[in-house]
Structure 1
Amino acid sequence: MATTYNRRSFLRISSLSLAGAYLAACSFGGGTRAGAEGLLRAAFSQPINDLDPHGPSSVDESTLLASRLVYDTLIRRDGEELAPSVATSWEQTDPTTWVLTLRDDVTFHDGTPLTARDVKASLERVRDAGTAQSALWTSVTEVEAADDHTVRVVTDEPLGTLPVNLTLMFILPADKMNDEGFFRKPIGSGPFKVDSFTPSDVLELSAADHWNGRPELTRAALPYIPETSSQITALRTGELDVLWPVPPDQIRQLDGRDDITLETVPSYAYYFNWFNCGREPFTDPRVRRALWKAVDVATIVESLFGAGAELMTAPIPSTVFGHAAQKPYPYDPEAARRELAEAGLGDGFRTSLMWFSGTGPLADGLAQAMISDWAKIGVVVEAQNVEKAEWLQRLNDKDFDMDLQINTVTTGDADFTLGRLYDSAADRMGYANRELDVVLRQAHKESDQGKRRELYAEACRIIWDDAVGIFPAALVSTYALRGSVKGFEPVPSNQPDLRGVTLAN
């Protein structure tokens, strides 16, 4: 049931009023209230800036949310399992070849059939885009449309993660996807078609005839309401039907109201504090472990987040395939001091922690709590709460001592995070471990899920024991629903499927 907190859950953009920004953006031709005439108004905490599912925002949660409503994928995630979507079957015919069979009854919103040619063009486009999702497809050397309903994918090495990665690969019409202005009102084959889109403001959708059934809803609007207080007010007054994720410190504003239901679910989002393992003194794992033992992680998570987060037991959340619970680091300041002394830092040292406030709920409080605990063992940490643009530049340049942020395992599979971030070639935080590289690359190639699970368990152990970072909190998503909303299912990805939602009169 659902309370997810992601990177932008607490974006604060001032001076936009609820009445001016929200009602103007979402009037649908008048000031109708939420739920009127089959219209669902659902607000996510992040603005939808881009509808290009292969572009620079391809792994942003807001773009993925919109993409799952407008476009189709070949394969979809159904809980912990993978299920058919446009592809009815997929088979690894040899170690470097996958063959997918497509449905023959899928059409785009303009009535043209979706064929293997569209799949080929879409996969090649995302592979060559040079974006965060492109990294999933670098080993693809050939995509062949064998006939209208058969796709053959050839890789330069075994790619066992292809099926799960295809849950992110959205299919666009080959003849139109590169047209100028296409993504201002794109054409997909998903359950909803785009009526209008104003970036960072509102996405307006209407039901489409879909191969998996026409949605129960007639229309849906996804407005962006910047201020948390305005979001809460809109839900309470009936101008919104659904709001997510509700920040943990705002839940009390809605809990206990007869007309609002709160549903929570563990999410794919989590906090980590990376050490720059390529910069002294964090090149020494004894120092990294000492700083972890110096932080009373369990107490901080409980006091700050309450039911809004779970204590991490691995470098990925428990909701993710490949999670394997590890032995917790004890809160032990004396042991931390001893380990620092063994590393030649018995008098402590000075360092810094970088983050940006909008990274997630209560980020400032989490940073300050850790800084306070480190001070108790003689480690003086400069707080560097910077603007997001500066944070991103410094992160990419590895210009930090420690970095606090939220990450989301977008596919629900360990390869997306562990394989993408901790391989030595990625060089994201100066960490290199050849033993880990071997494990991650074997897992990336392996198609047997049982073997993949074992390999990721080993990867979790190595990353945890090496204390590449501190992994404090896996976030819980809280969805707030008005009583008129029926059939809404919270999901850990923050990308709910709205097809089965109905609105009671």
Structure 2
Amino acid sequence: MSTKRFALAALLAGATFLTAVSVEARTLRWARSQDATTLDPHSGNTGPNHVMGHNIYEPLVLRAFDGKLQGALATEWRVLPDDPSTWEFKLRPNVKFHNGNAFTADDVVFSLKRAMQPAADMKSLLVSVEDVTKVDDLTVRIKTKGPNALLVNNLTNMFIMDKEWSEQNNATQVQDLKSKTENFATRNAMGTGPFQLVSREPDQRTVMRRFENYWGRDAVQNDITEIVYRPIPEAATRVAALLSGEVDWVQDLPPQDIERLRTAQGVRVNTGPENRPIFLGMNVGVPELRSSDVKGKNPFADVRVRQAVNGAINRDAIQRVVMRGQSQPAGMIASPLVNGYTKELDTPPKYDVAAARKMIADAGYPNGFSTTLHCTNDRYVNDEGICQAVVGMLGQIGIKATLVAQSLRVHFPAIQRGEYDFYLLGWGIPTFDSHYVFNDLYRTKTSSAGTWNGTGFSDPELDKKIDSLNSEVDLAKRNATIAEIWKQVQASNVYAPIHNQFIAYGMRSDFDIPVDVENTPKVRFIESRRS
């Protein structure tokens, strides 16, 4: 598709929004296994943070429950006909921040440049951006380092802050999650979204109230006046709260409770696939594993060991026993929704314990070796259960893995610091494009790329191919390069894909909340069936 045709398609996509339904006002009591790590919208690039952000803040464009792109604070966007390296965004008029300040191009320029700061975890999505400039109060231009036909896809979680509020409250610098520092935006917020922050008690509850001057009030699907968001880490407690009517919505039902809840009076369950592969990472970049009984060398640096890990994992058993059918075994780190995905690449490695044991021996470890597997216990569907199963499976080939399961608050920063030998990770792909996988998980780690590459994997020639995807406007050539990169990274085996997870929402029957393919549901799109 030419740049001009791509821009026209994007322009038309920006015109859609949803129709209003008038229903009785009410509070939505919402429970999930974990809380956002911060309210700073540019600090942490994680699903729980984006979930919170999408109800208080807004990006220029966003994705609805079905993943379709539509306008939010931007009404139109295009690539300039005389400059294929510049995108122009027309901004929505008459939009107010929660403090009454008018939304203008100054806020967009400030926010996008803030998201490009070194401490911002969102900066990898803007790695191709050279500059952001104001044309007038309702027009912004984004100049990229060469043409980037897919820039708009990178903006769906790029939230816009009030520049004046940020300056007044010393929040112009992004919170650095790695150093555990805080700023005013860590626990406070000033956006244009349909709900405004009332109170914030991290890991306890966050209360948001309907913003009566929200520009899209007539398009909101419900009349929810208040959101009470509660992190409830224990799965049984979340389910009990739903059954008792203590909460209206549980965002992450455990698979083992789905069938029981389908028959419970007053409860509805919706399930569906998420755009999120789950996988294991192996550290190939250190000379000696920190947690292994092998000294002086790194077993994971040998591709045969990594192939053995892939072959020792019985993905069908994990799907059947751990996930209760709520997953699809995977062979690549991309879901079917992602550009670059193919069924052939997604064929899971053959489960073959004998062959895997031989590869371990051929690599020089006939007695196997020990290591530590780090895992979350509060982020993905049955994450700790997946890791427990993997530990048993690897034991059959002589890899003695000690499981350490802990909160995402500890787990994620440690991956980004490169501290783990072996770890579990899930990867939502908000751009719906393979570049997001390559740039963050496979590219050599720098200040703006490879930010989640905890494997130490590095290939300068591959880096060049990954970087070229930002500026290639011939989509056929770009897709051919994507296919080449997938072939190379699949051969590296630095990750062991496990599955694409399905997710289940449990709710009181007077709500009908469809599964969001990104699992970042926006309350404005929730339909209330209360009469």
The answer to whether the superposition gives a TM-score over 0.5 is yes
Aligned to 1:19: none
Separation (CA, whole Å) in 1 of partners of 2:391 and 2:330 = 19
- AA matched with 1:209: N
Change (3 A) 1:299 1:185: closer
Aligned to 1:98: 87
What SS is found at the alignment partner of 1:472? Answer: strand
What is the aligned counterpart of 1:472 among 494, 498, 503? Answer: 498
What SS is found at the alignment partner of 1:63? Answer: helix
Q: Percent identity?
A: 27
- AA matched with 2:276: A
Separation (CA, whole Å) in 1 of partners of 2:88 and 2:195 = 28
Superposition TM-score, scaled by structure 1 size: 0.84
Instruction: Give matches, 1:76-475, under 5 Å.
Output: 76-78=62-64, 79-93=66-80, 94-128=83-117, 130-180=119-169, 181=184, 184-200=187-203, 201-214=205-218, 215=220, 216-226=222-232, 227-279=234-286, 280-325=298-343, 326=345, 327-385=347-405, 391-392=411-412, 394-425=414-445, 426=450, 428-447=454-473, 451-475=477-501
RMSD: 2.7
- AA matched with 1:424: T
Range moving further from structure 2, 379-388 or 173-182: 379-388
Unaligned runs of 5+ in 1: 1-34
**2:526 paired with 1:492:** no
Deviation string 1:235-276 (CA, Å, 9 cap, x unpaired) is 112222211111112324412124111111211333211111
Separation (CA, whole Å) in 2 of partners of 1:467 and 1:239 = 46
Separation (CA, whole Å) in 2 of partners of 1:255 and 1:159 = 46
Separation (CA, whole Å) in 2 of partners of 1:448 and 1:89 = 23
1:53 Cα shift? 0.9
Aligned partners of 1:272 and 1:405 also within 8 Å: yes
Range moving further from structure 2, 39-48 or 348-357: 348-357
Aligned partners of 2:272 and 2:504 also within 8 Å: yes
1:37 Cα shift? 4.3
What SS is found at the alignment partner of 1:444? Answer: coil
1:388 Cα shift? 5.6
Separation (CA, whole Å) in 2 of partners of 1:204 and 1:352 = 40
- AA matched with 1:339: M
1:95 Cα shift? 4.1
Separation (CA, whole Å) in 1 of partners of 2:389 and 2:353 = 15
Separation (CA, whole Å) in 2 of partners of 1:193 and 1:354 = 36
What SS is found at the alignment partner of 2:349? Answer: coil
Separation (CA, whole Å) in 2 of partners of 1:306 and 1:290 = 26
Deviation string 1:152-190 (CA, Å, 9 cap, x unpaired) is 122334444421111111112221123324665533222
Aligned partners of 2:419 and 2:454 also within 8 Å: no
Give the number of aligned pairs. 468
Separation (CA, whole Å) in 2 of partners of 1:288 and 1:156 = 36
Separation (CA, whole Å) in 1 of partners of 2:507 and 2:353 = 44
Separation (CA, whole Å) in 1 of partners of 2:190 and 2:270 = 33
- AA matched with 1:358: D
1:390 Cα shift? 5.8
What SS is found at the alignment partner of 1:471? Answer: strand
Unaligned runs of 5+ in 2: 1-22, 170-183, 287-297
Aligned to 2:17: none
Range moving further from structure 2, 106-115 or 120-129: 106-115
1:108 Cα shift? 2.4
Aligned partners of 1:39 and 1:219 also within 8 Å: yes
- AA matched with 2:49: T
Aligned partners of 1:204 and 1:221 also within 8 Å: yes
Which structure ranks higher in relative contact order (CA pairs < 8 Å, sequence separation ≥ 6)?
Answer: 1
What SS is found at the alignment partner of 2:487? Answer: helix
Change (3 A) 1:174 1:364: closer
Change (3 A) 1:88 1:451: farther
1:503 Cα shift? 4.5
Superposition TM-score, scaled by structure 2 size: 0.80
1:132 Cα shift? 1.1
Aligned partners of 1:193 and 1:208 also within 8 Å: no
Change (3 A) 1:205 1:293: same
